[in-house]
Amino acid sequence: MATKGDEIDTAPPASPRPEVQNGSANRNGSIDEKKSKKPGNTAFKQQRLPAWQPILTAGTVLPMFFLVGITFIPLGVGFLVTSNKGDVYIYYRLSNYYQNHRRYVNSRDDLQLLGQNVANPSGECDPYDFYRYNDVNNKTAQKAYAPCGAIANSLFNDTFYLEYGYEDGRSKVPVELDFTGIAWSAT
């Protein structure tokens, strides 16, 4: 029995398992430490590095502005003078042109391309399967396209005409176009 001067132990009874902090106990009772996902407490990882923060005033910005201007104006003039000499390339983009559309891709006759069944193409080539015309007796006749289909009978053709002139209405001068080397060789 406890007397007035005795201290009473209020702690819970000791557990057979070890106390775990920042980890977990495995079956053997030993502690497996888990790595924290927090970044290290360094100036770099905590983004506390010293930084230079300039004070922008008219006295510092205007001289810098004029220095950059004086440096780059001659470069701009040099580029302008040299840009008027040399070749001019024209690049353009096609829209609403579906060469990979299923009907376009399938519009061919493989046997005809192999040299077989040339006079009677398959239905896949329609409407580019037969050339229909009136013969000398004014009767409708037809001949098979060889090769048939939309792929063989489609031709991409654009015409470009360039000219330069003056805003005051004087005559415009046509620009001579060079069509050599505009496509890859077929071999």
Looking at the predicted structure, is the pLDDT value of residue 68 above 90?
yes
Tell me what pLDDT residue 69 has: 94
Q: Between 33 and 155, whose confidence is greater?
A: 155
Tell me what pLDDT residue 24 has: 55
Which of the residue ranges 41-55, 57-71, 80-94 has the most confident prediction, judged by mean pLDDT? 57-71
Tell me what pLDDT residue 30 has: 58
Q: pLDDT (tens digit, 9 = 90+) per residue, 144-168?
A: 888 888 888 887 777 777 887 776 7
Tell me what pLDDT residue 115 has: 83
Looking at the predicted structure, is the pLDDT value of residue 110 above 90?
no
In whole angstroms, give the CA distance from residue 161 to residue 179.
Answer: 12
Torsion angle of C-alpha atoms 19, 24, 26, 31, degrees rounded to 10: -60
From residue 135, give the alpha-carbon distance in Å to each of 24, 132, 142, 153: 96, 10, 9, 23
Render 100-168 in DSSP notation, one character per residue. Answer: T-HHHHT-S-HHHHTTSS-SS--GGGTTSSEEEEE-TTS-EEEEE-SS-STTTT---------EE--TT
Tell me what pLDDT residue 91 has: 79
Task: Give the residue extent of every domain in the chain.
Answer: 102-144
Tell me what pLDDT residue 70 has: 95
From residue 100, give the alpha-carbon distance in Å to each of 6, 13, 77, 151, 184: 95, 79, 46, 10, 21
Torsion angle of C-alpha atoms 105, 111, 116, 121, degrees rounded to 10: -60
How crowded is residue 124: how many other Cβ atoms within 10 Å of its Cβ? 16
Looking at the predicted structure, is the pLDDT value of residue 126 above 80?
yes
Tell me what pLDDT residue 8 has: 57
Instruction: Find the farthest-apart pair of alpha carbons in the chain and give their distance in angstroms, rounded.
Output: 138
- The reported pTM is 0.33
In whole angstroms, give the CA distance from residue 93 to residue 146.
Answer: 31
